[in-house]
Amino acid sequence: MSQETITSSERQIRQSEKPPKGSRVMSGMRTTARLHIGNYFGALKNWLELQHEYECYFGAMDWHAMTTAYKTPHEIQHFVRDIYAEFIAWGLDPAKTTIFVQSRVPEHLELNMFFSMITSMGWLERVPTWKDAEEEAKANDTHNLGRFSYPVLQAADIAVYSATHVPIGQDQISHLELSREIVRRFNFLYGAKLPEPKPIFTSTPTLLGSDGRKMSKSYGNTFNLTQEEDELTKTIRAMPTDPARVRRNDPGEPTKCPVYSYHKLFSKPEDLPWVETGCRTAGIGCGDCKKRLTENINNLMAEPRAKKKELLQSPDTLDSIIDDGCRRARKVAKKTLEQVRECTGFQVSGGDAF
Ligand code: TRP
Ligand code: SF4
């Protein structure tokens, strides 16, 4: 996002402080695909820390997945379970943190409806991510109303839990600013007291795909967060290396190699000089280098992989964890909607009043 597109109130929220005790944190992930390491380093890893300090609400966002993947709803629901299991496998504690599925808390949609009435088209048109994506959206059949109003639903996701804070990267600031604007207007019009959500800025490193290009589902180069050992071996074996290393004796330059960029993420610090020197002096071969990387990642994945498998293999247990998370989320969401109904005089049912 260019500097010019930042409004003054955006600038105000750029300085985030550490949230005070009692803050409520909300975030979510779209369920369009398996989680990849970008989801981990950009979000999940931060959530794992936040859950120990704050009351947290983390969601598998299937309605948001529908904004682009509306042709394959069953697949979206497959990923809901997969991602939910993965959240737990990597350490989100369902006893401590409320992990929900967006579509199972219909209050999101009810609040979204209110919010969509008070959001001016101009606000949405100005969201830079939409402007950037519009041509592409036209080309690939996702120039739909739901996608356009994606940030309104996102505002409802946050406000429905009366969340005070949202962990985001700097690139999502315009979405959060819009959420704040919507909440502010809602409070102003109806005398409600929904909190204006503030950011918790987290680092969102840009990770390379396994082929060294930008990681993207459309390139087929995403590096999944949890992989079976043979899948992992295959992915890493297929990774390109520094093209200067044609023969085993040719020295290479690690900074030109995606394998090295993964070593930096996953390997022990003492392995890095081994790669750097070994590569530059041709002391190690790319095979050795990849083998070490595979071992290191495999060690890190071993426990989550086993835990995820265990969850997916006992669907009843997983179901009851999901049910419990959604129930707890809904309880909080209903409370917010009570306030919303009171302020507006609307007796919207949320589906279960009769
Ligand atoms: N947009 C987020 C993503 O791309 C998912 C999301 C939906 C979200 N609603 C949210 C994140 C509310 C933070 C707050 O994965
Ligand atoms: Fe890449 Fe490692 Fe080969 Fe160097 S030795 S080119 S870092 S794979």
pLDDT of amino acid 204 = 80
Pocket of ligand 2 (CB under 6 A): 241-242, 245, 252, 254, 257, 259-260, 275, 279, 284, 286, 289-290
- Which residue's CA is minimally distant from atom 8 of ligand 2? 286
Q: Which among 23, 31, 167 has a CA at the least distance from the CA of 87?
A: 31
Q: Which of 64, 109, 202, 216 to mutate to test the pocket of ligand 1 (most atoms within 8 A of CB)?
A: 64
Q: Is the dihedral of CA 247, 251, 257, 259 positive or negative?
A: positive
Structure tokens of 74? 């069953």
3-state secondary structure of 301: helix
Ligand 1, atom 9: closest residue by C-alpha: 154
Residue 64 Cα to ligand 1 middle (Å) = 8
Please, what is the angle between helix 271-280 and helix 286-313, to 10°? 140
Binding-site residues, ligand 1, Cβ < 6 A: 26-30, 61, 64, 154, 157-158, 166
Mutation to probe ligand 1, out of 27, 176, 200 (largest number of atoms < 8 A from CB): 27
227-259 in b/e form (b: 16+ CB < 10 A) is beeeebbebbeebebbeebeeeeeebebeebbb
Q: Domains, the chain, ranges and CATH?
A: 3-207+315-344 (3.40.50.620), 226-311 (1.10.240.10)
pLDDT tens digits, one per residue of 290-335: 999 999 999 999 999 999 999 999 999 999 999 999 999 999 999 9
pLDDT at 182: 98
Candidates 61, 68, 147: which one to mutate for ligand 1, based on the most atoms within 8 Å of Cβ?
61
Q: Could you report how far apart the first and last alpha carbons of the chain are, in Å?
A: 47
What is the distance in A from the centroid of ligand 2 to the CA of 223? 18
Sign of the four-CA dihedral 284, 289, 295, 299: positive
Ligand approaching nearest to the C-alpha of 285: 2
Residue nearest to atom 8 of ligand 1 (CA): 28
- Using the 8-state DSSP alphabet, how is residue 41 labeled? I
| Residuewise pLDDT in 10s, the chain (354 residues) | 344 444 555 555 556 678 998 899 999 999 999 999 999 999 999 999 999 999 999 999 999 999 999 999 999 999 999 999 999 999 999 999 999 999 999 999 999 999 999 999 999 999 998 988 999 999 999 999 999 999 999 999 999 999 999 999 888 899 999 999 999 999 999 999 999 999 999 988 888 999 989 888 888 899 999 999 999 999 999 999 999 999 999 999 999 999 999 999 999 999 999 999 999 999 999 999 999 999 999 999 999 999 999 999 999 999 999 999 999 999 999 999 999 999 999 976 655 555
138-145 contact pairs (CB < 8 A, 24+): 142/67, 142/68, 144/67, 144/70
Q: By the 8 A CB rule, do 165 and 23 touch?
A: yes
Q: Give the three-state DSSP class for 98.
A: strand
Global pTM? 0.92
The C-alpha atoms of residue 171 and residue 1 are separated, in whole angstroms, by 7
| Ligand sitting nearest the alpha carbon of 261 | 2
Question: Distance, CA 118 to ligand 1 centroid (Å)?
Answer: 20
Which atom of ligand 1 has the smallest separation from the CA of 61?
7
**Ligand 1 atom at minimum distance from 27 CA:** 13
**Given the CA of residue 285, which atom of ligand 2 is nearest to it?**
5
Contact 34, 82 (CB under 8 A): yes
pLDDT of residue 1: 38
Alpha helix ranges (H) inside 191-240: 229-237
